[in-house]
Amino acid sequence: MSLEGLSGGRDDDQVLVAEYALGLLEGGERAAVARRIAADPAMAADLRLWRTRLATLDVQFAEVAAPTGVLQQVEWRLFGAAPAPGGWWNSLALWRGLTAAAAAVAIIAIGVNLLQPRVDPKVLANQLVAAIQSQAGSGVEFVALYDEGSGEVRITSLKGAAVPDKDYELWYIKGEQPAVSMGVIPVDQRMEIPLDPAARANIAPGTVFAVTLEQKGGSPTGKAQGPIVAVGTATPI
Amino acid sequence: MAKFARMNSAAPPHIADLIARTALRDRSAFRDLYARTSAKLFGVTLRILKDRSEAEEALQEVYVKIWQRADRYVAGGYSPISWLVAVARNHALDVLRARKPVSDDIDLVLDLADGSPDPEQATIDSTERKRIDGCLDELESDKADCVRGAYLDGFSYEELATRHNVPLNTMRTWLRRSLLKLRECLSA
């Protein structure tokens, strides 16, 4: 049996390979041709020819900036736990790899810290720092310094601007637990946040700090609703 | 040629290197690869699917596949960006065609059937581009449009027939003859 309009034999095979390469075959026919190509070196060589030649048309696919958040979705799927409702917080995939950056900022933070009047070496030994770094191009960065002695988190804005009708909200995430709010934070000043005993017990090396952009006054539900604009992992100084 | 090599060495990490490191499960290389190529691949899924949210979903699937299959690039014959475009294009076509993806196993077999990597791919690409454009120019312009439409927009025979206002069988005959002519020109 020959294809319509053709003499049959070798021409048929060549056309089938071209149709396969172009994506003109569907379903069962496509699968059948794929199996034939896999079994026939001449057809496989032909497919290579078509693919490399057709690929030179690829320049005609115009670049379009990908929507934000796609990479995060991919990383959650590949490296993190499956996101439960509101539970993408539970995935630690996002925050991995930030430890080095946190350590770099820790050095700066120690420098800053030495300028503070109440610092002594014993206090330093019980502090954690997190470089809360910009996500998805938000340009928002903070440093969080947690002092076990005072039970306070000192949050300092490094970069970023206020957004009209929105507030930034700081969260901590311990292991697989849902994110817990530490309140709304300003972008233009340093702020000390006293933590309750439950929160104090949860802040430890590896605890993740995240900042989201929420409605004015912060998320009304106690669960993060806005996008993550910055994240970082707590590291001992 | 020497000039070309120098330009290459000054460039940021080559996409082929990023794919190779991705195959070694280097997550930061994978992130770099995404940063370098996602606009191109989103361009591919968007052009074929013509729907932003479907194209976004497809893009996600495409990068999951790229992570899972990066090791196969090493055995493949495509230039690095062509390989990535092919992954994106094939996935978009699968989504487009009645949402019944062909078994991945078949594509894998064909990936492995590809030739060896070609270090001179970049220069070959530019001469080949001239050649396919030249060969398409030898076809009547509406038939060349059909080939481009099938490749770049993922048009099926049915869509091509409708767009060119000819019966389906006429379109099949047209295009099959054109493909034979094209192949003859390409392999000359």
Domain locations in chain A?
10-60, 70-236
Write out the two tokens for A78: 């590949």
E strand or H helix that includes residue A192: strand A191-194
Supply the pLDDT for residue B6.
Answer: 38
Residue B84 DSSP SS3: helix
Residue in chain A closest to B176 (alpha carbons) equals A15
Give the residue-averaged pLDDT of B173-177: 94
User: Touching check for B52 and chain A: CB below 8 Å?
Assistant: yes
Residue A1 to residue A7: CA distance in whole angstroms = 9
For residue range B48-88, what is the model confidence (pLDDT) as tens digits?
999 999 999 999 999 999 998 887 775 556 788 999 999 99
Supply the pLDDT for residue B90.
Answer: 92
- Domains assigned to chain B: 8-112 (1.10.1740.10), 121-187 (1.10.10.10)
**Which pLDDT band, with edges at 50, 70 and 90, does A3 fall under?**
low
- Specify the higher pLDDT residue, A227 or A130: A130
- Specify the higher pLDDT residue, A214 or A88: A214
For residue range B86-110, what is the model confidence (pLDDT) as tens digits?
999 999 998 988 654 444 444 444 4
Give the residue-averaged pLDDT of A137-142: 78
Residues of B in contact with A46 (CB under 8 A): 183
Mean of the per-residue pLDDT values of chain A: 76
Residues of B in contact with A65 (CB under 8 A): 39, 42
Chain A, chain B: beta-carbon pairs less than 8 Å apart: 168
- Specify the higher pLDDT residue, A64 or B9: A64
Give the residue-averaged pLDDT of A107-134: 58
Residue from B41, B178, B179 to probe the interface with A (highest A Cβ count within 10 Å): B179
Q: By mean pLDDT, which of A51-55, A62-66, A217-221, B180-184 is the weakest?
A: A217-221
Supply the pLDDT for residue A200.
Answer: 86
Give the residue-averaged pLDDT of B40-52: 96
Give the percent of chain B with pLDDT over 70: 74
E strand or H helix that includes residue A133: strand A127-134
A236 burial (CB, 10 Å; 0-12 / 13-18 / 19+) is middle
Residue in chain B closest to A43 (alpha carbons) equals B113
Residue B4 to residue A230: CA distance in whole angstroms = 41
Residue from A56, A68, A98 to probe the interface with B (highest B Cβ count within 10 Å): A56
Residue A29 to residue A16: CA distance in whole angstroms = 10
- Specify the higher pLDDT residue, A16 or A199: A16
Supply the pLDDT for residue B171.
Answer: 95
Contact yes or no for A228/A210 (Cβ under 8 A): yes
Mean of the per-residue pLDDT values of chain B: 80
Given B81, B113, B176, which is nearest A44 (Cβ)?
Answer: B113
Predicted-assembly ipTM surpassing the 0.85 threshold: no
The residues near A4 (Cβ < 8 Å, ≥ 6 apart) are B169, B172, B173, B176
User: Touching check for B75 and chain A: CB below 8 Å?
Assistant: no
Please say if the pLDDT value at position A223 is more than 70.
Answer: yes
Residue A70 to residue A136: CA distance in whole angstroms = 10
For residue range B117-138, what is the model confidence (pLDDT) as tens digits?
343 444 455 566 667 888 999 9
Residue B109 to residue B107: CA distance in whole angstroms = 5
